[in-house]
Amino acid sequence: MRNTSPAAPTIRFRRWSRKAYAAFASIGRCVTIGCLRKSVADSSLSKQKTAGTAGHAGCGEESTWKGETEGRETDTGIPDIENIKSISSLFDISIDELLSNENASQKKSEHLFESVTEYDIDEPKRYDMKFGGAKRFVLCGYKGEKIRIRLVSDTLSTLQNDFKIKIDDIRKRIDVDVKRMNGVTEATAKEAVSIFVQIPSPYIGQIECAVNTETVEIHSLECDSIELDVKTSHVTLDDISGTVEINCNLDMEVLCSSLNGEVDINQISATSRIHIPENTVFTAVTKGIGTSISYEKDGQQTDRFDTSDSENIIELNGIKSELVIYTGKERG
């Protein structure tokens, strides 16, 4: 008896695809892959080289593959919208990313090795965090429910074994400590490991943070106070509301994208610089012994340009330290 059931749609691969949905497009279809004899392929490549078009389709190109059904090329390789929605939900990526050529590279981690620790927060807390040495440290607030600590490295393959995160939840306080294991030194941590910390914005009270690193970045935080006990030469304050206290005896460059509150710099025998946006209204205050503040605009020393009785304050405290407040371009 002759089989009259409709044949399954057939797709023939002509070239490989970098599209994220390529594998899913073959679900429920009959797929064949064409194969040429070596002599035919060599002959084809030889002709392409002669014509000045060395190479072949699909090798290093951002090309799409097309199906071939009943002897004709078609665009049936694109899955229907319901499949796309399911894939999007399954892998937690947007439909736009699925349909773009760049989604695969975008979702790949920027680093080869990482260790992520998360802990649920259910009420406003005071955060006391000690991280030790790191190459880069980034702290930010976000709209979530967990504190998230992410350690990354491009060279330390034993990252998860060598660094352990200890989190203690004590009443109204969260204590975070990074412990180095297996003989890993602080020098190694400063060379190979970066730390990214996210704190849920609804549950931020006060923050105390100790870290020894090349750069410190603080983003999108609104809280009563942030105390940074750091050894660093570069601090970035971006979208911060509240009081930021920086304890550091190294010469620093502090970059403020905005000033909404107070920045207190405590130093001994150091000379630092702080950049603020032009036309920022603030009051400068010096405390301690032998401290002084000077001013620059566009790389040139200028007269004092702060105002009295502003709610925004830049304060220098300590012993024999200098602070330069500047706007505009740097010198040189």
**What confidence tens digit (pLDDT) does each residue in 280-323 have?**
999 999 999 999 999 999 999 999 999 999 999 999 999 999 99
CA 251, 256, 259, 262 dihedral sign is negative
Based on the domain organization, do 130 and 102 belong to the same domain?
A: no
Based on the domain organization, do 83 and 119 belong to the same domain?
A: no
* CA dist., res. 74 & res. 57, Å (int): 18
Based on the domain organization, do 53 and 95 belong to the same domain?
A: yes
Query: Residue range 132-150: average pLDDT?
Result: 96
Q: Does pTM surpass 0.85? A: no
pLDDT at 171: 87
Joined tokens for residue 110: 């920027």
Query: For residue 42, which phi and psi values (nearest 5 degrees)?
Result: -60, -40
Q: Is residue 3 part of a domain?
A: no
| Higher-pLDDT residue of 312, 70 | 312
Q: Is residue 2 part of a domain?
A: no
pLDDT exceeds 70 at position 328: yes
pLDDT at 310: 95
Residue 33's pLDDT band (cuts 50, 70, 90) = low
Based on the domain organization, do 205 and 90 belong to the same domain?
A: no
Decide: 247 and 298 in contact? Cβ < 8 Å.
no
Based on the domain organization, do 131 and 223 belong to the same domain?
A: yes
Based on the domain organization, do 134 and 161 belong to the same domain?
A: yes
Question: In which domain, by residue range, is 59 found?
Answer: 10-107
pLDDT exceeds 60 at position 53: no
Based on the domain organization, do 98 and 144 belong to the same domain?
A: no
Q: Do the bridges between strand 204-231 and strand 253-256 make them parallel or antiparallel, or are there none, so unpaired?
A: unpaired
User: Three-class SS of residue 203?
Assistant: helix
Based on the domain organization, do 76 and 222 belong to the same domain?
A: no
Q: Is residue 1 part of a domain?
A: no
Domain boundary among 62, 86, 107: 107
pLDDT at 330: 62
**What confidence tens digit (pLDDT) does each residue in 74-128 have?**
444 555 666 666 666 666 666 666 665 444 444 456 889 999 999 999 999 999 9
| Higher-pLDDT residue of 65, 234 | 234
Based on the domain organization, do 134 and 214 belong to the same domain?
A: yes
Domain boundary among 107, 132, 158: 107
Q: Is residue 5 part of a domain?
A: no
* CA dist., res. 295 & res. 305, Å (int): 7
What separation in angstroms does the CA of 321 have from each of 4, 290, 291? Answer: 91, 7, 5
**What confidence tens digit (pLDDT) does each residue in 160-210 have?**
999 999 999 998 999 999 999 999 999 999 999 999 999 999 999 999 999
What separation in angstroms does the CA of 90 have from each of 63, 98, 130, 145, 178? Answer: 25, 12, 36, 21, 33
| Higher-pLDDT residue of 246, 61 | 246
pLDDT at 34: 62
Domain boundary among 107, 135, 158: 107
pLDDT at 329: 72
Based on the domain organization, do 103 and 119 belong to the same domain?
A: no
pLDDT exceeds 70 at position 5: no
